[in-house]
Amino acid sequence: MPQAPSDALVFFGATGDLAYKKIFPALQAMVKRGQLHVPVIGVAKAGWTLDRLRARARESLETHGGVDGPAFDKLSALLGYVDGDYEDPATFDLLRRTLGSAKRPLHYLAIPTSLFSIVVGQLGRSGCASGGRVVAEKPFGRDLASAQALNRSLLAVFPEPAVFRIDHYLGKEPVQNLLYFRFSNSIFEPIWNRNYVDSVQITLAETFGVEGRGRLYEQMGAVRDVIENHLLQVTACLAMEAPSSGHPETMRDEKARVLEAIAPLDPETVVRGQFRGYRDEPGVAADSRVETFAAVRLEIDNWRWAGVPFFIRAGKRLPVNCTEVLVEFKAPPTSAFGEKMERPNYVRFRLGPDVAIALGVRSKAPGEAMVGQEVELLATRGTGDEMVAYERLLGDAMKGDPTLFAREDAIEAEWRIVAPILASSSPPHEYGVGTWGPVEADRLMGRSGGWAKPFDTRKAP
């Protein structure tokens, strides 16, 4: 049943980094597409005025995507601002007055997780939550217990259908394309299982380091930052069964089932690394044991995937910037031409920064001999745009569509999966800047093919 759209958008943390880099560009894009025409109220404790917030919005757009004159003028007219302390009830009383006649506001918590409970409690006390929705930005907790506690505080004020837990990866166009490719091409369904798939690799590589965010990264590490959320969600998209209908909850049901079928990680199937020089970053402890790289091996204990290893790795200061999935198929049972294949057939999904879906096959090399060569058939290639993710997700939240948002049972399953490795006190393996992480990660593969090395498409011929 369609839900009534939100009639106001409130975003907490209006003067922060996330608003500057992502939210203002998304809001302008929504205005430009005719998707945003309700009051947009920023809330922060900065001593700012509305004019200062409008100037900040322009600065943001000049840096991230450009200013569209007519769209920005309309966004400026929609903007409002409330300045005050999140612990002060007067801040929220003023917000309620600023909302005016709005009855279904959407509250976006672009603030540290530690402030969620405080803000949500004040929204409930002031009446701002009545009839409204709330968007909670990741990270959703630091472990299973904190995620459950955070969920209790949200549900004490908002009903579950009004809670939207945002993971911008689920709104990215290439991740949407991954789902579409799987469930709109029947030729792959007969082989998308343990009988034909040999292994799956998921890589999130970044060439940059912590970029002055050392103090924050010390509280996170690679597992909490991207594996527990982004990459386990990508795993669910790859491995889930087809949803039985177009109802939002059927998609979320299937993702939750896959995640619940993954056993908690065995520390023996995890390799943690730290790039050389990380401890010299501002805000980083001199004896830090926080990982900037992690590689894990997991298996999905269900009928479709039993026995198929899923290898996930993520790291900073690696050779390229990319997120890529490689689904490798089993080699033919015998070689009719006596060849030893280095890598069998595969499907490759490049999820960013460019977009590609490719099929790896073998074709006979020119000449008399029956020898082959690897050929990659490229299905699509283009440039991804992360800004689209925030535009899409904010628009969906305002419409009340939860399809692309993580549900609490899925989030709790993710925390259960990584729980055994969060408390690791063992020192991470050191690796050099510009390498593919510590060599110890190779032992997880247990086979000759090894990790695939995604290439930098910007340097490709």
Catalytic positions, please? 230
For tokens 């999904």, name the residue.
349
> Is residue 139 reached through a cis peptide bond, with omega within 30 degrees of 0 on the bond before it?
yes
**Amino acid sitting at position 168:** H
Strand partners, 80: 41
